[in-house]
Structure 1
């Protein structure tokens, strides 16, 4: 188990999706294959642009809730602080 919080995007500055998972590689693969969630499938949100590993699922869930309450500008600033070109980080997993 490798708890993580992740952000997917449809494109740079596009639709964002924030999620939490115990197995990041599997979960992102599910999104890319269209079996992740209805929201990501509907809006074409398949590009992994940010992720954070966490020591426990509880801390990952807490961080997910925090990020979901952030303003959009703060989320974009977080993504760009680690991934300024909004590259798909799928290959890093």
Structure 2
């Protein structure tokens, strides 16, 4: 078997390079706007946190998890922290 010849039907170097480049490119995504112009933030800074417990209905928890994943957060907790930060900033206006 001659390993020096590549079968481009099986493996295409250029296509593989493009796939790798696309996989490792950082996607820039903007904050998401919802009703009333409220912005759901993207991930950003790290700050020391305190542990707090809130009771939510399962559907609300699922919605928070889905929005957090959509916005690129590693955890729903980080997302909720940023979300409430935005709410508090808008309430000050």
TM-score, reference length from structure 1: 0.29
Q: Higher relative contact order at CA 8 Å, sep ≥6: structure 1 or structure 2?
A: 1
Q: Which of the pair has more CA radius of gyration?
A: 2
Which protein has the bigger strand share?
Answer: 1
